[in-house]
Amino acid sequence: MTAVLSPGMAQAGLALLEILERQTLTTAALVEGLRDVGGMQVGDVLAFSQALDWLAVGEDGILAATAGGRRLAGLQGYGAALRQIVEDYVARFSPGWLQNATYGRARVLAFSPPGVRQVLVEAGVAKGAEPEVVEFWDRLAGLARGIRADRLLGIGREGERLSLAYEAARTGAEPRWVSIDSNQDGYDVLSVCAVDDRTPLSVEVKASQRGDGFLHLTRNEWDQALDSRAHVFHLWKLQVDQPLLAVVTVSEMAEHVPSDVGSGEWQELRVPFSSFNGAFGGVELLLGSRPADRMPS
């Protein structure tokens, strides 16, 4: 269960670090000797502090501050400590509200839980543009982008694994997972056109866990599609128990690709998965039928 961040819990965590700096205590001695810390139940504060890696139990059973706990305790000023607590919290739990940080401070304040919002107010970052305030929001946005990138990479890899299995079953040949070695080639999987046609087939894989999701296509990926003798796009819908696959040809994708005009040229575009709703089908159906018109000639 994700720990709940609030001003009271943040203050209690700081108070517990101060107590352990003054006294040597085991977990049992702490729990038996104190009912609460800073107005919060001692067990909850201990669990919160350990979850954020501020405290650890040594081999002798003694509670001690970790490097993260010592760093937090050594900060000057309540606001600086609260800012660090927020960063420790989001790094540990990746809460849903964090994704709003990529859109700016106002979005976070509007959509974060009341306790988190109050912590941000007391940390002095809910307004103002002092260097430490700007740096805090930049770090939070960076964490959010990193978490989003990791999540999207995981979704993409799931789609690529499905395409590898699909192509192996469709052709009887083991495809090569190109994107593992390089993401510069403009496609993810190298297969062959058919059981009786060993012409190389490049496959660009797109996957979504949302029914109303979008695929993002780079100029490099599109140029590779145009240059390839045989190329298809695999679109995977992963939000259902049984993944759905659409095999989209270059000519079908071209209907959604813009042209360069004047001195301008596009570098990335997005196309809704819904544009190809009629092409999606269950994997078993596609494996069994292998419709020829879905493959390039």
Over residues 86-99, the pLDDT tens digits come to: 999 999 999 999 99
pLDDT for the residue 230: 97
Q: Which of 21, 15, 65 is nearest to 44 (CA)?
A: 15
What backbone torsions phi and psi does residue 45 show, to the nearest 5 degrees?
-65, -40
Over residues 54-110, the pLDDT tens digits come to: 999 988 889 999 999 999 999 999 999 999 999 999 999 999 999 999 999 999 999
pLDDT for the residue 2: 66
Tell me which CATH code domain 155-294 carries: 3.40.1350.10
Percent of the chain with pLDDT over 90: 74
Dist CA 211 CA 280 (whole Å):
12
Average pLDDT of the chain, as a whole number: 90
Q: Report in angstroms the alpha-carbon separations of 57 from 37, 64, 275.
A: 18, 6, 55
pLDDT for the residue 40: 92
Mean pLDDT across 187-201: 96
Over residues 266-297, the pLDDT tens digits come to: 999 999 999 999 899 877 644 444 444 445 44
What backbone torsions phi and psi does residue 225 show, to the nearest 5 degrees?
-60, -40
Q: What are the domain boundaries of the chain?
A: 7-127, 155-294
pTM for this model (two decimals): 0.65
Mean pLDDT across 112-131: 96
pLDDT for the residue 216: 93
Question: Mind giving me the DSSP string for 2-62?
Answer: PPPP-HHHHHHHHHHHHHHHH---BHHHHHHH-SEETTEEHHHHHHHHHHTTSEEE-TTSB
Length of the chain: 297
| Contact by Cβ (8 Å): 203, 189 | yes
Indicate if the pLDDT at residue 214 is higher than 70: yes
